């Protein structure tokens, strides 16, 4: 029996993307289809290299085509990160997705999570930038082991690159023990410059490590660019979750989609005896996510290695054979999937005449 390209596409319609809830053919993921006598080859182009179900989709696609009686099925997997359908980002047009990593409360590990997510995304092959918007307490350069300073090329700031990630932070512009003592308008200006005056180039994801709170910086950022979405980091304790819900309320007011909630310092495994201690309680963020109807992206246990590696500028996500590296890899995958979901959902473009 001769198989037509249409037969193959019909078969592939049985393969669904679990996040976007549509089949891979109508999503336009199937490319370069070649149908020979006993040989079929095609490419599946995903919306992110960090796709958590990459292997599963490849296996399913191979299976349904083989079921047509094709002896030799070649599936190539590639990815191209999508910008939002409604793209109106004039300040940084080459940056496809901008994601705020926020918490509400301080000290829950936002910067550590942001740095590790950036590393995890970069390791999948995505082009990633990391912007430290915490002007008062910048910590990204230390977490990322930054030693090079930004320099100015043709009137724009060239950001340092650490572990393949472009980074900008107020820490680069201040002597180590100096402090920034500013009122709001200066913060606003800084955020605008971090966006518009830095040579970010082409990026799939620009992660923004936010300061705690719901103030000047959060508002400036949400007003200056149409953020793709925000990720909320919280510890499981009620106090942190209560404040996190304020951050969620702020982003909802500003129409910024909540991409999901991450539970940090989720529990502690004693390295001596293996006993597990839920220091801040456990599962609070997951429960809050399901109550509020947001995706729960994952949990990261409290661990002395995370602290040691963070302080020495070597994010744990650099090694995904460790439990923590693996956790960040999985969370980055879940986050990338949610970004794709949001980008498929955003409404029609707003036109002003």
Partner 1 sequence: MPLIPKKIKLAAGNDSLAIEWSDGHTSVYPYRYLRDKCPCASCTGAEGPKAAAASPFPMLGVKPLKPDRAELVGRYALQIFWNDHHSTGIYSFAYLRECCPCGECAVRRPVENSAPGAA
Instruction: Report the site for partner 1 in 245-264 (rule: CB under 8 A).
Output: 252-256
What minimum distance in Å lies between the beta carbon of 50 and partner 1? 24
Among 111, 222, 234, 338, binds partner 1 (CB under 8 A): 222
User: In the complex with partner 1, which residue's Cβ is closer, 155 or 348?
Assistant: 348
What minimum distance in Å lies between the beta carbon of 216 and partner 1? 14
Binding mask 86-125 for partner 1 (x = CB under 8 A): --x-------------------------------------
What minimum distance in Å lies between the beta carbon of 255 and partner 1? 4
Q: Which residues contact 54 (CB under 8 A, 6 or more apart)?
A: 46, 77
Size of the site for partner 1 (CB under 8 A): 19
Decide: is 224 part of the binding site for partner 1 (CB under 8 A): yes
Instruction: Of 249, 207, 247, give the one whose Cα is nearest residue 228.
Output: 207
Give the whole-angstrom CA distance, residue 230 versus residue 195: 17
Instruction: Of 209, 207, 216, give the one whose Cα is nearest residue 250.
Output: 216
Per-residue CA distances from 330 to 50, 81, 117, 124, 297 (Å)? 9, 18, 10, 11, 8
User: In the complex with partner 1, which residue's Cβ is closer, 31 or 86?
Assistant: 86
User: In the complex with partner 1, which residue's Cβ is closer, 148 or 252?
Assistant: 252
Instruction: Report the site for partner 1 in 27-86 (rule: CB under 8 A).
Output: none
37 secondary structure, DSSP code: S
Strands 151-153 and 156-158: antiparallel
User: In the complex with partner 1, which residue's Cβ is closer, 118 or 342?
Assistant: 342
Give me the DSSP letters along 295-339: -EEEEEEE-HHHHHHHHTT--GGG-TTSHHHHHHHHHHHHHHHHH
Per-residue CA distances from 258 to 103, 165, 209, 232, 276 (Å)? 12, 24, 15, 8, 31
For residue 229, what is the enclosing H or E element? strand 229-234
Binding mask 180-219 for partner 1 (x = CB under 8 A): ----------------------------------------
User: In the complex with partner 1, which residue's Cβ is closer, 114 or 225?
Assistant: 225
What minimum distance in Å lies between the beta carbon of 136 and partner 1? 22
Among 225, 241, 327, 342, binds partner 1 (CB under 8 A): 225
What minimum distance in Å lies between the beta carbon of 195 and partner 1? 12
Give the whole-angstrom CA distance, residue 50 versus residue 122: 9
- Residues forming contacts to partner 1 in the complex (CB under 8 A) are 88, 222-227, 252-256, 345, 347-348, 350-353
């Amino acid at each position: 029996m001769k198989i037509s390209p249409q037969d193959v596409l019909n078969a592939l319609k049985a393969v669904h993307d679990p996040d976007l809830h549509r089949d891979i053919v109508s999503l336009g993921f199937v490319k370069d289809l070649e149908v020979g006598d006993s040989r079929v080859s095609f490419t599946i182009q995903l919306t992110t290299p960090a796709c958590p179900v990459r292997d599963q989709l490849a296996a399913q696609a191979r299976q349904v085509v083989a079921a047509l009686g094709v002896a030799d099925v070649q599936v190539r997997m590639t990815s191209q990160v999508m910008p939002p359908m409604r793209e109106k980002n004039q300040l940084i047009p080459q940056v496809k997705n901008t994601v705020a990593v926020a918490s509400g409360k301080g000290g829950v590990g936002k910067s550590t999570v942001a740095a590790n997510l950036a590393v995890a995304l970069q390791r999948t092959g995505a082009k990633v930038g990391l912007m430290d918007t915490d002007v008062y307490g910048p910590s990204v350069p230390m977490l990322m082991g930054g030693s090079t300073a930004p320099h100015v090329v043709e009137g724009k700031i060239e950001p340092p690159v650490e572990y393949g990630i472009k980074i900008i932070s107020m820490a680069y512009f201040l002597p180590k023990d100096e402090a920034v003592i500013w009122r709001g308008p200066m913060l606003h200006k800084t955020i605008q410059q971090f966006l518009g005056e830095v040579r970010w180039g082409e990026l799939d994801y620009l992660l923004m490590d936010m300061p705690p709170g719901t103030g000047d910086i959060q508002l400036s950022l949400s007003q200056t660019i149409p953020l793709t979405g925000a990720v909320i980091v919280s510890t499981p304790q009620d106090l942190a979750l209560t404040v996190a819900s304020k951050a969620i309320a702020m982003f909802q007011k500003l129409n910024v989609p909540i991409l999901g909630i991450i539970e940090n310092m989720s529990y502690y495994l004693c390295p001596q005896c293996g006993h597990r201690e839920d220091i801040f309680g456990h599962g609070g963020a997951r429960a809050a996510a399901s109550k509020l109807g947001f995706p729960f992206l994952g949990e990261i246990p409290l661990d002395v290695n995370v602290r040691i590696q963070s302080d020495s500028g070597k994010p744990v996500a650099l090694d995904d054979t460790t439990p923590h590296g693996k956790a960040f890899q999985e969370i980055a995958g879940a986050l990338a999937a949610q970004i794709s979901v949001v980008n498929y959902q955003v409404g029609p473009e707003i036109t002003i005449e």
